[in-house]
Amino acid sequence: MKNNLTIIALLFASIALMESCGSAESKEEKAIAPDPEIEAIHPEKGSLSSSIKLPGELVAFQQVDLYAKVSSFVKKLYADVGSEVKAGQLLATMEAPELNSQLSGAESRLKAQEAIYLSSKATYERLLETSKTPGTISPNDLDIALAKQKSDLAQLEAAKASYREVGDTRNYLEIRAPFSGVISARNVSAGAYVGPAGKGSDAPIFTLQEYKKLRLVVSVPEAYLPYFNDKSTAKFTVKSIANDTFNAKVSRAAGALDTRLRSQRTEMDVENPKLLPGMIAEVSMPLAGDSTTMLVSSKAVLRSTMGTFVIKVENGKTIWVPVKAGRSANDKTEVFGDISSSDTIIKTATEEVRNGEASKKIKLTE
């Protein structure tokens, strides 16, 4: 029995020794296993095609508040809210009895001045004819008569101007549409006292808007201006017509930044009967890039607490190159810094790859 137990103990000891040797060999194999290859790429030149979504507003292509030019009373209104009017159409008439009296007085002064001028003109012509006989009229009398005629002519022209002024003021008693559009607001009724803004009526008589042609107004932030093309075509939608997408071409750009929003006002002309002034739009603005910009895989850009870098492999070492990241699209990112298309950079940058350490085995991929 003792011999059997001894044999069994030796057998278990042999098995344990073999297992420990196998485990040591396995660890040794793992310890000397080669490091995995690190994928690397070359930066490439190109441009990204992307877009941004911005809020926009549809406003009337033309809009005007119509006030009375002179203080008067509304006699009759020929349009109301929603009325479609043509350019030159009569919208309202006012009455101001004192203007009729001023016009009559100006007309009387004009006729009186005409008579005075005709008299002085006839006097000068008679003296001029008589002076042809030597010694009858002195040159001084002839000069005085000529000066009187010119003075009366000047007074006549002044009387005509005064008469036209009163007549033009009287014409302001009629309000006409300056362009074709729709009346979007009416603030007075017949009999109301109206006048220039702040003198009788703070609110305008009518607000007229051109609604068949609209302006889509968008504020483009300063950061996107380098990629902004003022000849591009944008797409937009409005909440009230959610199923439709509309197109609009950029027509005008302010060329300066708004001091409050730090953005550039951009306008697009829109002609669509479904759309109305005041609608809010969601605009998709295309952004064009520079074909000389360097592009890398988005994973190759390392964003750390120390800044933004790409990791370049040079002379057997990894170098963190500081860059400025631009736009990203389709797994590509614009980078600006000391890199070129001939450089080799790590495809997936992580902080585990230290700056200045010996580079591991590099596998260049397309």
Q: Does domain 38-48+291-364 have CATH number 3.40.30.10?
A: no
pTM over 0.85: no
Taking the CA of residue 182 as centre, how many other CA atoms within 13 Å lie in the half-sphere pointing to its CB? 11
Higher pLDDT, 258 or 231: 258
**CATH H-level, domain 52-62+212-287: superfamily:** Efflux pump adaptor protein, beta barrel domain (2.40.30.170)
Q: Which CATH architecture has domain 97-172?
A: Orthogonal Bundle (1.10)
Q: Give the confidence band of 354 by pLDDT, cuts at 50, 70, 90.
A: confident
The span from the CA of 261 to the CA of 219, in Å, is: 8
The span from the CA of 170 to the CA of 256, in Å, is: 43
- Model pLDDT, residue 207: 94
Higher pLDDT, 18 or 231: 231
Q: Is the pLDDT of residue 156 over 70?
A: yes
Higher pLDDT, 90 or 28: 90
Residues of the chain with CATH 2.40.420.20: 38-48+291-364
Count helices and strands in the chain by DSSP H and E runs: 3, 23
What does the angle CA 157 – CA 160 – CA 166 come to, to the nearest 5 degrees?
145
Mention every residue, 6+ apart, whose C-beta is less than 8 A from residue 292: 45
- Model pLDDT, residue 83: 93
Share of the chain above pLDDT 70, in %: 86
The span from the CA of 172 to the CA of 174, in Å, is: 5
Residue 23 φ/ψ region, left for φ over 0, alpha for ψ in the -120 to 50 degree band, beta for the rest: alpha
Q: Is the pLDDT of residue 59 over 70?
A: yes
Query: Could you tell me if 79 and 186 are in contact, meaning their C-beta atoms sit under 8 angstroms apart?
Result: yes
Token pair of 65 as six digits: 């508040």
CATH placement of domain 63-92+173-211: 2.40.50.100
